[in-house]
Amino acid sequence: MGSASDARPSRRALIAGAAAGALVGGFKSASAEEAQKAAPSAQKTFVFAHGSWHGGWCWARVTDKLRAQGHRYFAPSYTGMGDRAHLLSKDITIDTFINDIIGVINAEELSDVILVAHSFGGVPALGVADRIPEKLKHVVYLDCIILENGQPAFSIYPPKEAEKRVAAAEAANGGLAVPVPKKLTPVWGFAEGTPDYDWVLRRLTPHPLRSYQTPLVLRNPIGNHLPRTYVSCNAPENPVINSSRKIVRGLPGWNVVDFAGPHESMITHADRFTDIILSV
């Protein structure tokens, strides 16, 4: 993804690795050079979980790099968001998003998955790790919300931020979904008026309100004993994530990486972030 005007692959496309010789979903075949970059034994499988207002599209810079190196990836949008915004309904809860990701993993018969989550996406990722740990190899949480059993996402958001989102949803659509922000917050790392700022803002879709309000049910400890890495963005820090950082740093078993980038580093610092997820 070079700029906002570049052609983008479909957000629901399920991409087979270049080492297999072609890309699924109707895209052009991988070049011989790409296919030779990674032997089958080196091929990794990634599944991505996006954050608030986003869709699978937000991982394009990372997945472009993975594809070029012969890895497989799946970057779904949650029900009611991104390319699936037409499915928005009052029945969407946090379990819907968890099941969206589990559905991809099961339908594609994936194993040894590296699950990569961003921001709010940490909540469904925790649910996936709790329910199907046998399918996962590692979980990477990029500046993610982290919850304990029985907590809804809004329970650890700053109260004023949670109240603001509820009020915006009530005013916009009777509480169905939190509308897209009129401006991007500076902690996301985009300068207003730049191509990236405009590209991200126009791609955002309303976020189902109940997914913030329904509790996350965990049957096992947070992370479910899986290998896991928390990438904490600190240039600048996003205050919405502060309580989650404290939770992670206070628990055993977490590899914490301090990352010199903003909250949307999968877009602004795709090269360095891709290196991290390939190293786990």
Evaluate whether residue 63 is within a structural domain.
yes
**10 contacts: CB under 8 Å, gap ≥ 6:** 25, 26, 83
**3-state DSSP assignment of residue 66:** helix
Nearest Cα to Cα of residue 208 among 150, 127, 139, 152: 152
**Structural domain total, the chain:** 1
Evaluate whether residue 9 is within a structural domain.
no
pLDDT at residue 20, as a whole number: 35
pLDDT at residue 21, as a whole number: 32
Catalytically annotated residues: 119
Averaged pLDDT for residues 36-43? 56
Whether 82 and 50 have beta carbons less than 8 Å apart is answered as yes
Evaluate whether residue 104 is within a structural domain.
yes
What digits encode the pLDDT tens for the residues 60-94? 999 999 999 999 999 999 999 999 999 999 999 99
Residue 15 backbone dihedrals phi, psi, to 5 degrees: -100, 120
Evaluate whether residue 122 is within a structural domain.
yes
CA 76/CA 125 separation, integer angstroms: 13
Nearest Cα to Cα of residue 15 among 45, 52, 58: 45
The C-alpha R_g of the chain, in whole angstroms, comes to 18
**3-state DSSP assignment of residue 209:** coil
What digits encode the pLDDT tens for the residues 124-157? 999 999 999 999 999 999 999 999 999 999 999 9
| Sign, CA torsion 57/58/63/64 | positive
Query: Which CATH number fits the domain that encloses residue 145?
Result: 3.40.50.1820
Evaluate whether residue 5 is within a structural domain.
no
Structural domain harbouring 246: 14-279
In whole numbers, what is the pLDDT of the chain averaged over residues? 89
pLDDT at residue 6, as a whole number: 39
Evaluate whether residue 167 is within a structural domain.
yes
Evaluate whether residue 2 is within a structural domain.
no
pTM of the model: 0.85
Q: Find the helix or strand (DSSP H, E) in which 142 lies.
A: strand 136-142
Evaluate whether residue 54 is within a structural domain.
yes
Whether 124 and 147 have beta carbons less than 8 Å apart is answered as no
